[in-house]
C-alpha cells in the first residue's frame, strides 16, 4: 500500500478540508460553507425538527462546491477568471451576457454534480447526500441544470442548502433587506415558496445566532477514518496537468523521510502536509496557472500567497493544523528566496526541507504549460544545481532523489560524528581530490566543499587532510 494512503483523517476533517477548497475556488471567504451548513441545519430543523435529516443538510452544504475544482478549467475559458467570475456569479454582480453563458454551459454543471456526488459516495455518506448534491443546481420551476428536473424530483436538502447559501452570500454582498427581497422574488421559481417564506421569517435571528456562536467544525476522531488522499485529489482536479500531483509528492516525501530516519509520527505528518500543500492553489485563477510566458503584473504576488491560504485554511481544522504548518513551507528556500514567508534556512526544520524538496522534484518530473517534463536524470541534475546555489539542502536532495528512484536506504556513516555528506567529502579528499574536483563530482560549489572540510577538521580535531584521513579510517568513517 502506498504510504500516502495511510494518511487518514476523520470524516468531519475531510468535509472541512474539502469545504475550504470549495470556498477558495468560488471566491468566497474561508468558512463560508460552514456558515451555510449551520443555516441549512436551522432551516431543516425549523421544518422537520430533529433527526438524521439535519446531518444531511449540513453535509450537502459542506460538499456543495466540492465539484468546483473539476470544472475550474471550463469556467476559466468561459469567464476568463474562474475564481472572480464565480464569485460575481454567486453575489449577482456578473454581467448579463456572462450570466447567460453560464446558464447555457450545461456541461459545467454536469461535471460539477457528477464529481460532487462521487465524492459523497467515496466518503461513505448517506445516499440522500449524494442525491441532493447531484441536483443542487436544479430549480423548482424546472429551468435548472443539468437535467431541468421538475420539483418532485429535487430533494428538499438541495433547496435548504441553496436558500442558506443565497442568504449568506447576498446578505454579505448587498445587505439583509436586499437579500430577503431577492429570495422572496425567487419563490416557486428557484425554490418552494413555503421554504423561502420560512427562511425570510427567521433570517435575522438565524444570522444573529451565526455571529454569536462559534462556527468551528466539530472534531470527531471517533468516526471511521477516511483517506486524506481524496482531499489531495480534489485539490489537484483544478488543473488537468496536476492530476495525481499531491499523491506523488506524498509518496516521495514520506519515503525520503523514512530514508532520513524520521519517526513514524513525523512521517505521517509530512504525508498529510504533502496531500494538502496545494490547497491554497484554489484561490488563484486557472488563467494564471496556465500562463505559458511571463506572468502579468501582480500575478506572482497572488501565487506567492498560495501557502498562506493553505495554512489559514488548515488552521481551522484541528486535525490539519500541524500538517498545515509544514505545508505552508512547501515553497520556502534555504537562501530566503522562497514564499510566502521568505524564511531563512536556519528556521526551516527537516520536515520543511523534505517537503519543499519533494514538491520541487515532482514538479520537475511533470509537464507544465510553460515547459515539458524533465527526465529523471535531468531533474536530479537541476535539483542538485539548485542545492549548490543554496536553495535546497544537498543531503536532503540525495534522500529525495533516492526515494523517487525506489531505493530503500542511504549510505550511512559508521559513526554519528560526521554527516553522510561530510563522510562522502572525506572519502573524496582522502583519495587526493581537490576542493574543485570534489565540487565537480558532487555537483556542489567549491565554497560549499570548503565549508564541509572545515567542519570535518573541527569535528575530528585535525588541521590537515592527511590527519583527517587517518582519523577517518581509524573511526570507520571511510574505507
Q: What is the pLDDT of residues 49-83, one digit of tens each?
A: 999 999 999 999 999 999 999 999 999 999 999 99
pLDDT at 223: 67
Cβ of 15: how many Cβ atoms within 10 Å?
28
The dihedrals phi and psi of 187, each to the nearest 5 degrees, come to -60, 135
Beta strands 8-9 and 226-227 are antiparallel
Higher pLDDT, 4 or 163: 163
**CA distances, 62 to each of 30, 71, 75, 217 (Å):** 12, 18, 21, 10
Residue 363 exposed, middle or buried by CB count within 10 Å (0-12, 13-18, 19+)? middle
Cell numbers given for 465 = 587532510
Residue 372 exposed, middle or buried by CB count within 10 Å (0-12, 13-18, 19+)? exposed
Residue 265 exposed, middle or buried by CB count within 10 Å (0-12, 13-18, 19+)? exposed
Where is mean pLDDT largest: 106-115, 215-224, 400-409, 444-453? Answer: 106-115
Cell numbers given for 459 = 569535528
Q: Which segments of 153-239 does DSSP mark as H helices, in order?
A: 156-174, 176-185, 193-212, 229-236
220 pLDDT more than 80: no
- 233-244: average pLDDT: 95
- Give CA 84 to chain center in angstroms: 19
> What's the length of the chain?
479
Per-residue pLDDT band for 124 (boundaries 50, 70, 90) equals very high
What residues pair up with 8 in beta bridges, in sequence order?
227
Residue 49, H or E segment: none
Place of cell 536532495: 397
- 221-250: average pLDDT: 90
pLDDT at 281: 97
- 137-156: average pLDDT: 96
Rounded to an integer, what distance in angstroms lies between the CA atom of residue 419 and that of residue 250?
25
pLDDT at 215: 59
221 pLDDT more than 50: no
pTM of the model: 0.84
Per-residue pLDDT band for 420 (boundaries 50, 70, 90) equals confident
Span of 76-90, 393-407, 412-426 with lowest mean pLDDT: 412-426
Cβ of 412: how many Cβ atoms within 10 Å?
12
pLDDT at 450: 92
Per-residue pLDDT band for 3 (boundaries 50, 70, 90) equals very low
Rounded to the nearest 10 degrees, how much is the dihedral formed by the CA atoms of 244, 246, 250, 251? Answer: 10
Rounded to an integer, what distance in angstroms lies between the CA atom of residue 196 and that of residue 205?
15
The dihedrals phi and psi of 389, each to the nearest 5 degrees, come to -85, 0
Rounded to an integer, what distance in angstroms lies between the CA atom of residue 334 and that of residue 228?
29
Cβ of 152: how many Cβ atoms within 10 Å?
5
Cell numbers given for 5 = 494512503
Span of 351-360, 386-395, 405-414 with lowest mean pLDDT: 405-414
Cell numbers given for 475 = 573511526
Asked if 342 and 323 count as a contact pair (C-beta separation under 8 A), the reply is: no
What residues pair up with 335 in beta bridges, in sequence order?
344
What residues pair up with 191 in beta bridges, in sequence order?
187
User: In whole numbers, what is the pLDDT of the chain averaged over residues?
Assistant: 92
Asked if 36 and 61 count as a contact pair (C-beta separation under 8 A), the reply is: yes
Cell numbers given for 356 = 519543499
Residue 58, H or E segment: helix 52-63
Amino acid at each position: 500500500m502506498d504510504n500516502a494512503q495511510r494518511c487518514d483523517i476523520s470524516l468531519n476533517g475531510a468535509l472541512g478540508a474539502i469545504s475550504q477548497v470549495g470556498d477558495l475556488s468560488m471566491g468566497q471567504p474561508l468558512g463560508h460553507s460552514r456558515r451555510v451548513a449551520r443555516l441549512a441545519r436551522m432551516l431543516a430543523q425549523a421544518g422537520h425538527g430533529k433527526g438524521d435529516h439535519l446531518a444531511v443538510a449540513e453535509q450537502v452544504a459542506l460538499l456543495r462546491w466540492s465539484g468546483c475544482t473539476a470544472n475550474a478549467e471550463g469556467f476559466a475559458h468561459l469567464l476568463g477568471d474562474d475564481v472572480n467570475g464565480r464569485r460575481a456569479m454567486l453575489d449577482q454582480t456578473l454581467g448579463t451576457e456572462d450570466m447567460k453563458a453560464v446558464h447555457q454551459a450545461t456541461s459545467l454543471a454536469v461535471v460539477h454534480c457528477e464529481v460532487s456526488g462521487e465524492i459523497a459516495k467515496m466518503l461513505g455518506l448517506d445516499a440522500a447526500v449524494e442525491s441532493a448534491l447531484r441536483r443542487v443546481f436544479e430549480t423548482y420551476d424546472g429551468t435548472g441544470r443539468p437535467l431541468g428536473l421538475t420539483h418532485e424530483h429535487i430533494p428538499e436538502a438541495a433547496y435548504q442548502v441553496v436558500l442558506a447559501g443565497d442568504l449568506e452570500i447576498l446578505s454579505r454582498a448587498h445587505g439583509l433587506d436586499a437579500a430577503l427581497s431577492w429570495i422572496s422574488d425567487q419563490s416557486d421559481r428557484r425554490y418552494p415558496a413555503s421554504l423561502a417564506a420560512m427562511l425570510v421569517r427567521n433570517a435575522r435571528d438565524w444570522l444573529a445566532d451565526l455571529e454569536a456562536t462559534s462556527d468551528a467544525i466539530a472534531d470527531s476522531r471517533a468516526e471511521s477514518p477516511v483517506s486524506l488522499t481524496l482531499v489531495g485529489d480534489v485539490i489537484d482536479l483544478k488543473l488537468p496537468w496536476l492530476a495525481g500531483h499531491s499523491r506523488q509528492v506524498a509518496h516521495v516525501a514520506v519515503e525520503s523521510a523514512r530514508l532520513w530516519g524520521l519517526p513514524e509520527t513525523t512521517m505521517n505528518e509530512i504525508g498529510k502536509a504533502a496531500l494538502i500543500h496545494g490547497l491554497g492553489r484554489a484561490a488563484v485563477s486557472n488563467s494564471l496557472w496556465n500562463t505559458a510566458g511571463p506572468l502579468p503584473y501582480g500575478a506572482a504576488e497572488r501565487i506567492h500567497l498560495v501557502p498562506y491560504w493553505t495554512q489559514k485554511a488548515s488552521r481551522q481544522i484541528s486535525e490539519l493544523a500541524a500538517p498545515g504548518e509544514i505545508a505552508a513551507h512547501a515553497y520556502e528556500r534555504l537562501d530566503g528566496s522562497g514564499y510566502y514567508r521568505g524564511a531563512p534556512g536556519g528556521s526551516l526544520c527537516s520536515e520543511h526541507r523534505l517537503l519543499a524538496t519533494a514538491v520541487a522534484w515532482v514538479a520537475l518530473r511533470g509537464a507544465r504549460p510553460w515547459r515539458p517534463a524533465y527526465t529523471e536524470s535531468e531533474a536530479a541534475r537541476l535539483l542538485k544545481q539548485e542545492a549548490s546555489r543554496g536553495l535546497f539542502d544537498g543531503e536532503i536532495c540525495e534522500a529525495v532523489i533516492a526515494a523517487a528512484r525506489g531505493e530503500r536506504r542511504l549510505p550511512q556513516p559508521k559513526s554519528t560524528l560526521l554527516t553522510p555528506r561530510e563522510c562522502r567529502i572525506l572519502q573524496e579528499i582522502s583519495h587526493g581530490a581537490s576542493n574543485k574536483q570534489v565540487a565537480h563530482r558532487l555537483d556542489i560549489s567549491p565554497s560549499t566543499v570548503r565549508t564541509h572540510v572545515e567542519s570535518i577538521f573541527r569535528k575530528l580535531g585535525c588541521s590537515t587532510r592527511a590527519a583527517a584521513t587517518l582519523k577517518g579510517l581509524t573511526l570507520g568513517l571511510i574505507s
